[in-house]
A and B are shown apart, each in its own frame.
Chain A
Amino acid sequence: MSGFSPAFLSSTSNSFVELARAVAPDALPLAGGRDLSDQVPEGTTIICFRTAAGILMAGDRRATMGSLIASHSMQKVKAADDFSVIGIAGTAGLALDLIRLFQLELEHYEKIEGARLSLGGKANRLASMLRGNLNLAMQGLAVVPMFAGVDESTPAGQIFSFDVTGGKYEEHRFHAIGSGSGFARGALKKLWRPDLATEDAIDVAVEALFDASDDDSATGGPDFVRQIAPTIITVDLEHGAVEIPSAAVLSTATEVVARRTRKAQS
């Protein structure tokens, strides 16, 4: 058979996930299998907070497999589209695939409808994608994302956290997920202010991730040997989602280390 598959012409959905489930279910992540939770790489600490202009999300780069470090340079925080950002903790392979699928879901909607989804619409879409993943979560392959962004009706931005069942919760100031989240959240409690300018916000993000990597073995700190910095993405209505260059993050990390060294020696 040549030409378009009949579903392409007759489909009325603007959801890519629904389309793929109907036309090419093999292309989607598999359901089924046994408990694999200690045999797959896992990720780690993601933080997100409001800034004066919008939102900042940051994540470390380490992926672990049991007591081994599986990757030093995994990207767990990514721009979901031009005005939102997603970070994921949990089973690495599924997490990266969920990010890719979610990015495509937003792009597909935008192209089919000729308009972007609202921020709340994106968050709800992500929640229902997670719900579809529930049977994998029951086998220990859990994926927990955090999602944030801005749109015209919420220019200051919103932060959403989720659980494996697809529950969606709005966070009003800051939030952290992953194995090191307790330490990062503790740091944010002391450092976060509602009016952080971008420079200060980057400093706060690096401090919080440093605290997480200090006490959690599954969270990586800034890696000066390989020049690997935590991923930091800011989102505001004027500039959209912008990734801070790793050189800038590393220089902030250098200052943080110098500050801590002085304190430890005094």
Chain B
Amino acid sequence: MSQAPFYVSPEQLMKDRADFARKGIARGRSVVVLRYDEGILLLAENPSPTLHKIAEIYDRIGFAAVGKYNEFETLRQAGVRYADLRGYSYHRTDVTARGLTNAYAQTLAGVFTTESKPFEVELVVAELGVTAKTDQLYRLSYDGSVMDETEHVAIGGQADAITATLKDLLTSVLPLAEVFDHGVRALAAATNGPLPTKDLEAAVLDRNASGHRTFKRLSEAEMAELRED
């Protein structure tokens, strides 16, 4: 005798999935992405020097993620494939954060509603504009919802605490060292602990970069120098 199926309302189903995803994300440490006067800073608390949470997608597009490593790594690689194929088929300038964000949103939303388990990830897609005015920051949730931010954006378990610390701060007019300091302090305040430089991962999209690729990882020495200033 097969059991009669239980009825689960769609509201309940979505809520269960959202709770599940949120719980997974809350376990991880946060990432914060901040604009500064000459570019965009991506900053994460990440003790591993090789398993990155921050990555280059394309010439002017950076990627930051929290949650399950294997899941956001799959999404990062998909983003690189999308961007490289688009840039090769059309032109390098035709690869935009908006297009990439849409693809991420559709994929996340599709997995959230149809697969047995949602992605336990949150993402930031950042695009460095030719001028500061055209910088773009997009925050994507596990369910595919998108928000765009103007100055800075935090994701992960302590995102709300970080956003509260940085509230009303206009980082896009400040130099890199100062913004780096604000970012580190917000991360440290959210975790209630000191944050040694070796536990940080950072990269910039630099408007003054010479080649077409503007993404640059900051070494531990470069981060230490920024913290001293």
Residues of A in contact with B (beta carbons under 8 Å apart): 2-5, 7-9, 11, 16, 19-20, 23-24, 27, 100-101, 104, 107-108, 111-112, 114
Q: Which residues of A contact B102 (CB under 8 A)?
A: 2
Which partner residue on chain B sits nearest A105 by CB separation?
Answer: B84
Residues of B in contact with A (beta carbons under 8 Å apart): 50, 52, 55-57, 74-75, 77-78, 80-82, 84-85, 87-89, 102-107, 109-110, 213
Known: A9-B74, A111-B57, A111-B80. A3 touches B103 (CB 8 A): yes
A2-B106 in contact (CB<8A): yes
B89-A3 in contact (CB<8A): no
Q: In whole angstroms, what is the CA distance A111 to B106 when docked? A: 23
Select one of B87, B88, B103 contacting A4, CB under 8 A: B103
B55-A20 in contact (CB<8A): no
Which partner residue on chain B sits nearest A3 by CB separation?
Answer: B106
Q: In whole angstroms, what is the CA distance A184 to B74 when docked? A: 49
B89-A27 in contact (CB<8A): yes
B85-A19 in contact (CB<8A): yes
17 A-B Cβ contacts within 8 A? A2-B106, A3-B104, A4-B81, A4-B103, A5-B82, A7-B81, A8-B78, A8-B82, A16-B85, A20-B85, A27-B88, A101-B88, A107-B213, A108-B84, A111-B56, A111-B57, A111-B80
Q: In whole angstroms, what is the CA distance A184 to B77 when docked? A: 44
Q: In whole angstroms, what is the CA distance A24 to B88 when docked? A: 10
B74-A16 in contact (CB<8A): no
B88-A20 in contact (CB<8A): yes
A sample of 12 more A-B contacts (CB under 8 A), given A7-B81, A19-B85, A20-B85, is A2-B102, A2-B106, A3-B105, A3-B106, A4-B104, A11-B81, A20-B88, A107-B84, A108-B81, A111-B84, A114-B50, A114-B55
B84-A104 in contact (CB<8A): yes
Q: Which residues of A contact B56 (CB under 8 A)?
A: 111
Which partner residue on chain B sits nearest A111 by CB separation?
Answer: B80
B88-A9 in contact (CB<8A): no
B57-A4 in contact (CB<8A): no
A3-B107 in contact (CB<8A): yes
Select one of B55, B80, B103 contacting A108, CB under 8 A: B80
Q: In whole angstroms, what is the CA distance A9 to B75 when docked? A: 7
Q: In whole angstroms, what is the CA distance A83 to B101 when docked? A: 32
Q: How far is the CB of B59 from chain A (nearest CB, A)?
A: 10
Which partner residue on chain A sits nearest B77 by CB separation?
Answer: A112
B88-A16 in contact (CB<8A): yes
A24-B80 in contact (CB<8A): no
Which partner residue on chain B sits nearest A27 by CB separation?
Answer: B89
Which partner residue on chain A sits nearest B78 by CB separation?
Answer: A8
B81-A8 in contact (CB<8A): yes
Q: How far is the CB of B113 from chain A (nearest CB, A)?
A: 12
Q: In whole angstroms, what is the CA distance A100 to B87 when docked? A: 11
Q: How far is the CB of B76 from chain A (nearest CB, A)?
A: 9
Q: Which residues of A contact B75 (CB under 8 A)?
A: 9
Q: How far is the CB of A104 from chain B (nearest CB, A)?
A: 6
Q: Which residues of B contact A2 (CB under 8 A)?
A: 102-103, 106
Known: A2-B102, A111-B55, A114-B52. A19 touches B81 (CB 8 A): yes
Q: How far is the CB of A82 from chain B (nearest CB, A)?
A: 8
Q: Which residues of B contact A108 (CB under 8 A)?
A: 80-81, 84
Q: In whole angstroms, what is the CA distance A111 to B61 when docked? A: 12
B89-A112 in contact (CB<8A): no
Select one of A104, A111, A114 contacting B88, CB under 8 A: A104
Ranked 9 nearest A-B pairs via Cβ: A3-B106, A8-B78, A3-B107, A2-B106, A27-B89, A8-B81, A111-B80, A4-B78, A9-B78
A112-B80 in contact (CB<8A): yes
